[in-house]
Amino acid sequence: MMVMKQEAVLFIDVDDSASVRYNYREPHFAVARAQGLACLTAGVAGRHHLQRLRDDSDEVFLLEALSEQSILDLVGRLDGRYLIRAIFCQAGHPSALGEVGCIVANTCKRLGLVYSCAQAIAACNNKYLMRSVLQKHGLRSVPFALCNNEQELQAGAERVGYPLIAKPPFGGASAFIKKCSNWAQLRSHYAQFVSGHGAAAYADFYGCAHRLPAVDGQAREYLPGRSILLEGYIPGIEGSVECVVVGERIHALLINEKLMLTERSGTVLENLLISPPTSFTAEQCEQIRTYATACLRAVGLTSAVVHFEFRMTDQGPVVIEINPRVGGLYVNAAFRDLAAINPYQLYMSLLLGEPGVNAQLEAGAHKVANGSQHYAMLAIYPEHSGRFKGIEGVQFLDHHAAVLEYAQLDAGHCLDADIEEHYLLKCWAKVDDAADAYALHDAIRHNLHVIIENKV
């Protein structure tokens, strides 16, 4: 008698930090479960926070290592019970255990499942490789240098020129990013990075030491907590393009404009964004979409939802980073309210090889083009380091007609305000224009009171 196997999706989870780094597995599982699929999670043995995975998975499995072979072995063991339809991960999270996005991509390729190009994921996650690819394709970019010690740092800075941005080539939460105008600032920032990189809540995102593909005939080593990338400073208004790549077809769907950015001693914070943008002309928006598409084609990314960040210069848009995942803050709500698309459902459809994804995106693009309503996403960050106790006055948001949704960080976390971003509160709201968005941001700052004790 033939036993019917349960169809399932498998998520490879590498986030074992004290507090959850991203909400990614859960919304995708909710979509898969609604379609009658079993939701399976695999993590690496020795995890501290196993219950987190059990809370929303039908079954959890532990791998002896993060490798293609260990995932293939697991799929083999599950074969009697499950038909695995898709394997996925948060591809923008390189881990000290290995670069999960590339490992999952190669595993899917071997199993004949939908996959993103592994080489492209590597180029997206490592901003040095990304700049190298753009340079090779002659796309608009900035000078850059990868430095592994102070001597290389000084030589690299002379080549790139000041002002420059210094940041880890891999990384999350805008950790250890600084605009430096001279050698003293750069040297001091590098010393802070080398001594303090392990303290970042997102330290795991630095990945693991490895040799990089040769650029200009020169092979380089990547060393977490040592390697730093220098890039020419990009002037102009910052924004993001939310893209979806179906097979090899690229849809540059949404453009968000960043209205307010704050520079801290070791990070840059995004305080307020508006969608659709109000500062870019229709012609500039077209230019942004064309450029984002050209960059994605150059890195070779396939079958992915992508958060593409740029700055609009006098010469045109210049990429800051390419993230092979749904954007953070309320980018998911922007998809929903501006394009009538659930990005998690869309990505699931993409992974499962369902028809009609291109048509859905074309309809979404049409809705974006014809929409007149503006939306704002905003975030509140800690003003100083310490233990976060909560926020007083959130009922102001509950009673505000413009506020559509908000979420706040759980109390109890110890935060370093100077080295990376921590969303204490994020909010999504309807606004009339940029002035209205600024007014809402000010009203929220005025009416809500953040409590952080033991000021450092």
Please tell me whether residue 205 adopts helix, strand or coil conformation. Answer: helix
- Same domain flag for 173 and 71: no
- Same domain flag for 96 and 170: no
| Higher per-residue pLDDT: 387 or 112 | 112
Considering the domain boundaries, does residue 148 fall inside one?
Answer: yes
- Same domain flag for 220 and 73: no
- Same domain flag for 288 and 427: yes
Per-residue model confidence as pLDDT tens digits over 58-80: 999 999 999 999 999 999 999 98
Q: What is the DSSP string of 298-319?
A: HHT--SEEEEEEEEEETTEEEE
Per-residue CA distances from 143 to 146, 158, 177, 232, 287 (Å):
11, 11, 17, 5, 22
Task: Evaluate whether 142 touches 114 at the Cβ level (below 8 Å).
Answer: no
Query: How confident is the model at residue 267, as a pLDDT?
Result: 60
> Tokens 């901003």 map to which residue?
127
Considering the domain boundaries, does residue 134 fall inside one?
Answer: no
Query: How confident is the model at residue 141, as a pLDDT?
Result: 97
Per-residue model confidence as pLDDT tens digits over 152-187: 999 999 999 999 999 988 766 567 788 899 999 999
- Same domain flag for 217 and 334: no
Q: Say if strands 38-44 and 6-12 run parallel, antiparallel, or are unpaired.
A: parallel
Banded model confidence at residue 2, pLDDT cuts 50, 70, 90:
low
Considering the domain boundaries, does residue 92 fall inside one?
Answer: yes
Contacts of 226 (CB under 8 A, 6+ apart): 148, 149, 194
306-335: average pLDDT:
95
Task: Evaluate whether 91 touches 325 at the Cβ level (below 8 Å).
Answer: yes
- Same domain flag for 106 and 173: no
Lowest mean pLDDT among 10-19, 173-182, 223-232, 401-410: 173-182
Q: What's the CATH number where 312 sits?
A: 3.30.470.20
- DSSP tag of 255: E
Task: Evaluate whether 331 touches 242 at the Cβ level (below 8 Å).
Answer: yes
Residue 312 has pLDDT above 90, yes or no: yes
Q: Name residue 316's amino acid.
A: G
- Same domain flag for 426 and 298: yes
- Same domain flag for 279 and 196: no
Query: How confident is the model at residue 265, as a pLDDT?
Result: 60
Per-residue CA distances from 410 to 31, 343, 390, 449 (Å):
25, 25, 7, 15
How far, in Å, CA of 99 to CA of 92, rounded? 9
- Based on the number of CB atoms within 10 Å of its own CB, is 297 exposed (0-12), middle (13-18) or buried (19 or more)? middle
Question: Structural domain tally of the chain?
Answer: 3
Considering the domain boundaries, does residue 10 fall inside one?
Answer: yes
Task: Evaluate whether 286 touches 316 at the Cβ level (below 8 Å).
Answer: no
Encoded tokens for 288: 């942004």
Of 200, 148, 149, 199, the closest CA to residue 175 belongs to 200
Handedness of CA 302, 305, 307, 308 (dihedral sign): positive
109-133: average pLDDT:
94
Considering the domain boundaries, does residue 33 fall inside one?
Answer: yes
Contacts of 351 (CB under 8 A, 6+ apart): 9, 85, 86, 88, 113, 114, 303
Query: What is the extent of the structural domain holding 111?
Result: 6-115
Considering the domain boundaries, does residue 127 fall inside one?
Answer: no
Q: What's the CATH number where 211 sits?
A: 3.30.1490.20
Considering the domain boundaries, does residue 183 fall inside one?
Answer: yes
- Same domain flag for 389 and 318: yes
- Same domain flag for 337 and 439: yes
Q: What's the CATH number where 86 sits?
A: 3.40.50.20
Considering the domain boundaries, does residue 120 fall inside one?
Answer: no
- Same domain flag for 190 and 246: no
- Same domain flag for 187 and 293: no
Per-residue model confidence as pLDDT tens digits over 326-381: 998 899 999 999 999 999 999 999 999 999 999 999 999 999 999 999 999 998 88
4-15: average pLDDT:
93
Banded model confidence at residue 455, pLDDT cuts 50, 70, 90:
low
Residue 232 has pLDDT above 80, yes or no: yes
The residue count of the chain comes to 456
Handedness of CA 14, 19, 24, 26 (dihedral sign): positive
